[in-house]
Each structure stands twice: as C-alpha cells, then as structure tokens.
C-alpha cells in the first residue's frame, strides 16, 4: 500500500508523484523570495540565486586558498604543517571537514533510513578516542616533533614498518579515498543535475585539489574552515526543511519532530511492517528498535561492542595514525590550540547526526515502503530516496547552498587526503628512501609534483570505479576497515610498553592483514558464518585483538628493542609528559571544562537513546 504524506504530494522512493501544486503561501513566511511554486521534475534545476550563491562560494574558496597559501612554498615545515601556526578553531573545523564527504550527505543518511539512529554511534563513540587524543597522544606527538605517523614508526620500530605503513597509506588514500570520493560526488551530481560522469569527476578533482597543490596544509586547513561552515549550514537547511515538510499544514518544527519520533517508533501501519520485514536482516531477530544506539552484537552496522572496543580497533587509527586527520593537529600553534581544536571537533561530532541521521529518520517517516523491497535493493533505493527528498523539499533559491555544501564535503576530503598523501610520499618515501639530502625547496617541489600525479591517478580511477560494479567498490570499502586495526594496535602498544619491539610490530601488522582477509573470505564463502563475525565492526575488533596478541607474544619471545628505540620521546614516560600544561588562562577557556562538558553531553545522548526512554 502507499503511504499518504501530509502534503499534496505522494512520495515514493525513485518517483515523486505530484497530485497537486504546493501552496505558495505555506512557506513564504519561512524563506521570503524563494520560488516555492517551482514545478519539479527529475532534475535538481537551479535558478539565478542558486548560481549566484555557488559562484560566490567558489570565489570565496579561491580567495581563502590563495591568500593563506601564498607564502607557504619555500620551507617544508610551512608547506606540510602550515608552519605550525593553525588556531584551535581551524584545527577543529578542518579535522571535521576532512571527515565529511558524500558518504555522509548521501550514504549515511541512507543508512539512517534503514537502521534508524544507530549510525550516530560512529560520531558519538569518538568521545573515547578524542579523550585519548587530548590527554595522551597530542602531548606526546607534539613533543616528538614528527611530521608524519610513519616517521614515528621508523623511530620506534625501524625503517621496514615506516615504508610499509607509508606505502599502504599512499595506495589506500588514492584508491579508497580520493578515487572513491570523486566517483561518489560525481554520481551525486549526476543524480541531482543530470551532469555527465567524466566531466563531473574532472571538475570536482580540479576544484578540490588546486589549493592543496598550491598552498599546502595552510591553504587546505583555512579552506576547510570556510567549507565547514557552508557544509553545516547546507546540511542543517535540509533537516529543517524536511521537518517542516513532515509537519504538513502546521509548518512547525516541533510537530515535525514529534511526527518523526512517533513514526520511527514503528508501532503500527506501514512503519511497523517495514521494521518487521528488515529486523531479521539487521540483527537476526524479529524485533528492532530504530531509536536506540545500543544494538545487539549481531547488528550489521553498529553492534554494541563497537561502542566500547571501537576506540582501539578503528578510532585510534582513524583519528591518530591516519595522516590526513592528524596532520592538522601537528600543524597547531601549540599544545593548547591542538587540544582545544579536538574539543571543538568533539562538539561538532555531537551535532553532526542532526544533518546526517535525522534526514534518514525523516525519510522513514515520509515513506517506509522501500524497506519492504528485497533486501539487496534496499540500500541503493534508500540513497535515491534522499536525493528525491532534496528535489521535493528544497526550493530554487536555496539549492545553490546545498550544492555548495555538497562541493564543500567533497573538496574538504579530497584536498585533505591529497595533501597528506603528498606529505607521506615526499617525507617518508622520497626523502627517506630516494633523496635523503633533499633541500626544503626540493621537498616542497616534490610535494607539488606528487600531488598533481596522485590527483590525476585518482581522477582516472574514479571514472572507472563504476565499471567494476558495486560489489568491488563495496568490497574495497569493507577491506579499508582492516587497514586500521593492525596499525592502531602496534601504534598504541609501541607508545605504552617499552618491551614491544620491531619483530613484534611487523608480525602483528602482517598477521592482522592476513587475519582480516581470511575472516572476510570466511564470511563471504561459508554457508552459515558465525553471526558475530558478519558485522565489519566486529571483524575489526577481533582483528585488533589478534594483532595485539601476536605483537605482545612475539615481542616477549625475542630481543628487547634498542635503548634509542624506547627513548622518552618515543615511549610514554609519565614523569616527563606534561599532561596538565597549557590548559587555558581562564575557566571559560579551560580545556578541562569544555572537554568535561563534551563527555557529559555524549554520555547523556547515549543514555537518552539507549532504548530505555524512547
């Protein structure tokens, strides 16, 4: 059966069926001057003010990128670490902007349509890794004065692990990040505007990469700051318009929220039928609570053990070991600005679900019928549903802001990954292995050249990803989860325990990669695989535990590391680590105060959405 919406339009994923016209007066009070009466077809047509807004956005990015990067082309420290001059608000906004891409604006919203609030776990569970980053890793990394995480790997474990980590970083960044983000962004533009795939990929690549190539990290970080503001504004706009639309004639945010919550509780009607149909695929059970972040261990996306152990298996790698995330922290002015930047990023993690989860709940409230399709068709149709909702609720005059937000999400990820990939290649492969005596000017030149080459490769690969089919594309993304646990395990053990040696680290990394691949093959091939091994998050947890065990056992059964490999700047020494220095001059600028409030808010959110109250 078809679910009747509160508006004059019946909505089904894939095809909006217009049965009447929108009353122009309904929404003029919200956004006067916007053309709400524009008849919409399958395209996301732009008007004059949309083109104006998008043009101003591009111009602003160009000005910021040029101005901030115009003097960063002579010293390696300036080009790769922004001269260690970034203030906390740039560190934090760039940290978040680098993390947001098309998979958030489309993919994670589609996931929220299917799984409810569970995807919010991937934002809020960062509270643990952010806490470790603020109080442990940042003081340690800034004191060591390293440029890259592979550089630390060599100092602690030797050159073999540095080259291996650097090689994996470069290859995975180009294939699983740059090419995938360009392809995903181009598909989004193709769905919304009917643009051709190749021109979209090339245009996105050039617009996204030019300032990373030109001005290095400083251009990237300050551009990210501006793009972050646009992304949050554009994403929030979709949520607000969606809630107003859901409330029908009332045109009330409060009513929209109430309707969204009631329908996602799925107590009756088509909403109940949808949950009953999907619960066996999501958890293997007959019931499913869409408004709970605490899910069974068999949950395909967000099993409860991930909330506890995910900090070790994935979050430490992604937020600390991952060069394109940690690089802006290494470029902070000082310890205070680095820490406060991550605190600020934490608050942004709190509100991100408002723009990447709530729209999925709105989609479900509007029409749950897509969940009644065969399971293998649900996810792609859910993504299409969000695109169709954009066509339905975003009028001409505001579409330019969403287009700028979508471009910003793509640009911020591409320029951050591109800059960090060039940094790792230049410093960890070129300088360390090919030209140890390279001058700063030569290093900057190589950074520019390698950025151009990597961007060109990513553009070409991005154009062919679709030819391999969604299976291979999804498989690459699933395998990416296994790049994290081995390095996260070795990195954490190497810092905390002086007895861990190079033999143990190499054995742990190699064993971890082998374990991850074998588990993936087992899950795909076995007729009835263990349910606890099917979620990739659970696979990552077991992988991390196995790597940790191998690393410890091999280290304890072989020779201890050399004294210079366990010096105070390489391993943790509580007596020399200044954890409580540079916390802020006043209580209202104090890191402890704002960090504590951040932790309390996240714990409150987990408690509220634990399934006990809603």
Helix axes 323-330, 399-424, angle to 10 degrees: 90
What pLDDT shows up at residue 220? 85
- Tens-place pLDDT, residues 116-175: 999 999 899 999 999 999 988 888 788 778 888 898 889 899 999 999 999 988 988 888
- Tens-place pLDDT, residues 24-73: 333 434 434 444 344 334 566 788 888 898 899 888 888 888 888 776 56
- CA-to-CA dists, residue 488 to 95, 273, 309, angstroms: 19, 42, 12
Domain range for 584 is 69-608
Q: Which range, 410-419, 509-518, 576-585, is most confident? A: 509-518
What pLDDT shows up at residue 584? 80
Per the model's pLDDT, the better-predicted residue between 466 and 497 turns out to be 497
Per the model's pLDDT, the better-predicted residue between 299 and 343 turns out to be 343
Cα 81 from Cα 448, distance rounded (Å): 14
Residue 13 placed within a domain: no
Q: Which helix (H) or strand (E) holds 10?
A: strand 9-12
Residue 63 placed within a domain: no
Confidence tier at 472 by pLDDT (50, 70, 90): very low
Whose structure tokens read 């960044």?
173
% of the chain exceeding 70 in pLDDT:
88
What pLDDT shows up at residue 530? 86
Per the model's pLDDT, the better-predicted residue between 465 and 425 turns out to be 425
What pLDDT shows up at residue 503? 95
What pLDDT shows up at residue 148? 87
Residue 209 placed within a domain: yes
DSSP string, 561-595: PPGGGG-TTTS--TTT--TTSS--SSGGG-HHHHH
What pLDDT shows up at residue 48? 86
Cα 571 from Cα 568, distance rounded (Å): 5
Average pLDDT over residues 585-603: 93
Q: Which range, 83-87, 482-486, 541-545, is most confident? A: 541-545
Whose structure tokens read 């646009």?
230
Residue 216 placed within a domain: yes
Residue 302 placed within a domain: yes
What pLDDT shows up at residue 346? 96
What pLDDT shows up at residue 24? 36
Contact status, residue 10 vs residue 2, Cβ threshold 8 Å: yes
Contact status, residue 110 vs residue 381, Cβ threshold 8 Å: no
Secondary structure E strands in 231-280: none
pLDDT at residue 590 greater than cutoff 70 = yes
Average pLDDT over residues 252-261: 94
Residue 465 placed within a domain: yes
- Tens-place pLDDT, residues 175-194: 877 888 888 788 777 777 77
- The mean of the pLDDT values for the chain is 83
pLDDT at residue 603 greater than cutoff 90 = yes
What pLDDT shows up at residue 533? 85
- Tens-place pLDDT, residues 524-577: 888 888 888 888 888 889 999 999 999 999 999 999 999 988 888 788 776 666
Whose structure tokens read 């588990």?
519
What pLDDT shows up at residue 524? 83
pLDDT at residue 453 greater than cutoff 50 = yes
What pLDDT shows up at residue 390? 80
pLDDT at residue 7 greater than cutoff 60 = no
Contacts 24+ apart (CB under 8 A), 61-66: 61/207, 61/211, 61/223, 61/226, 61/227, 61/411, 62/211, 64/219, 64/222, 64/223, 64/225, 64/226, 65/210, 65/211, 65/214, 65/215, 65/219, 65/222, 65/223, 66/211, 66/214, 66/215, 66/219
By residue count, the chain amounts to: 614
Confidence tier at 523 by pLDDT (50, 70, 90): confident
What pLDDT shows up at residue 217? 82
Tally of domains in the chain:
1
Average pLDDT over residues 372-384: 83
Cα 594 from Cα 410, distance rounded (Å): 30
- Tens-place pLDDT, residues 238-248: 899 999 999 98
Q: What angle do CA 476, 481, 486 make, to 5 degrees?
A: 125
Q: Which range, 334-343, 416-425, 558-567, is most confident? A: 334-343
CATH of the domain at 451: 1.20.1730.10
Cα 387 from Cα 295, distance rounded (Å): 28
Residue 218 placed within a domain: yes
Cα 412 from Cα 530, distance rounded (Å): 39
Residue 59 placed within a domain: no
Number of H helices, E strands in the chain: 28, 2
Q: Which residues in 43-59 are b (16+ Cβ under 10 Å) and which e? A: ebbbbebbeebbeebee
- CA-to-CA dists, residue 502 to 428, 505, 554, angstroms: 18, 5, 9
Residues whose CB is less than 8 angstroms from the CB of residue 581 and which lie 6 or more positions away in sequence, other chains included: 139, 335
pLDDT at residue 8 greater than cutoff 60 = no
Cα 248 from Cα 260, distance rounded (Å): 12
């Amino acid at each position: 059966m078809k679910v009747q919406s509160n508006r004059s339009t019946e909505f089904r994923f894939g095809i909006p069926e217009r049965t009447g016209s929108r009353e122009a007066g309904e929404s003029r009070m919200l956004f006067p001057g916007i053309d709400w009466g524009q008849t919409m077809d399958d395209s996301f047509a732009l008007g004059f003010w949309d083109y104006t807004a998008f043009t101003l956005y591009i111009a602003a990015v160009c000005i910021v990128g040029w101005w901030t990067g115009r003097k960063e082309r002579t010293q390696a420290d300036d080009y790769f670490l922004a001269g260690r001059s970034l203030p906390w608000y740039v560190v934090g906004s760039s940290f978040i902007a680098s993390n947001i891409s098309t998979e958030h604006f489309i993919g994670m919203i589609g996931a929220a349509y299917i799984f409810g609030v569970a995807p919010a776990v991937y934002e809020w569970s960062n509270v643990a890794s952010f806490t470790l980053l603020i109080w442990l890793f940042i003081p340690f990394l800034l004191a060591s004065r390293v440029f890259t995480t592979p550089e630390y790997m060599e100092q602690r474990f030797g050159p073999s692990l540095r080259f291996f980590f650097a090689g994996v970083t470069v290859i995975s960044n180009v294939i699983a990040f740059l090419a995938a983000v360009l392809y995903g962004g181009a598909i989004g533009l193709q769905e919304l505007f009917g643009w051709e795939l190749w021109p979209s990929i090339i245009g996105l690549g050039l617009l996204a990469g030019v300032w990373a190539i030109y001005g290095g990290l400083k251009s990237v970080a300050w551009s990210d700051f501006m793009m972050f503001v646009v992304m949050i504004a554009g994403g929030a706009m979709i949520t607000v318009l969606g809630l107003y639309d859901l409330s029908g004639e009332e045109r009330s945010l409060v009513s929209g929220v109430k309707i969204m919550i009631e329908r996602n509780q799925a107590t009756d009607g088509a909403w109940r039928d949808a949950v009953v149909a999907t619960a066996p695929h999501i958890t293997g059970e007959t019931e499913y609570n869409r408004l709970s972040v605490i899910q069974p261990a068999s949950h395909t996306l967000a099993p409860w053990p991930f909330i506890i152990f995910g900090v070790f298996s994935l979050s430490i790698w992604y937020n600390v070991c991952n060069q394109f995330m940690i690089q802006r922290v290494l470029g902070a002015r000082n310890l205070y600005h680095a820490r406060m930047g991550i605190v600020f990023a934490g608050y942004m993690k709190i509100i991100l679900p408002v723009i990447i989860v709530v729209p999925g709940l709105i989609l479900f409230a509007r029409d749950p019928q897509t969940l009644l399709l065969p399971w293998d068709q649900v996810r792609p149709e859910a993504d299409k549903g969000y695109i169709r909702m954009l066509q339905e609720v975003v009028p001409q005059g505001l579409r330019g802001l969403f287009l700028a937000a979508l471009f910003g999400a793509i640009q911020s990820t591409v320029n951050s990954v591109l800059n960090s990939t060039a940094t790792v290649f230049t410093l960890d492969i070129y300088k360390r292995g090919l030209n140890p005596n390279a001058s700063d000017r030569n290093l900057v030149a190589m950074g520019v050249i390698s950025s151009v080459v990597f961007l060109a490769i990513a553009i070409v690969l991005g154009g062919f990803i679709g030819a391999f089919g969604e299976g291979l594309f999804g498989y690459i993304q699933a395998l990416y989860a296994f790049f994290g646990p081995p390095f996260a395990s070795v990195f954490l053990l190497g810092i905390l325990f002086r007895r861990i040696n190079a033999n143990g680290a190499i054995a742990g990394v190699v064993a971890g990669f082998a374990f991850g691949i074998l588990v993936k093959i087992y899950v795909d091939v076995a007729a009835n695989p263990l349910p606890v091994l099917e979620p990739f998050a659970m696979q990552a947890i077991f992988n991390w535990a196995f790597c940790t065990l191998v690393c410890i056992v091999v280290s304890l059964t072989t020779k201890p590391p050399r004294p210079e490999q366990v010096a105070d700047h390489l391993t943790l020494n509580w007596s020399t680590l200044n954890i409580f220095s540079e916390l802020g001059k006043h209580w209202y600028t104090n890191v402890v105060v704002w960090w504590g409030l951040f932790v309390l808010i996240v714990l409150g959110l987990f408690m509220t959405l634990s399934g006990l109250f809603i």
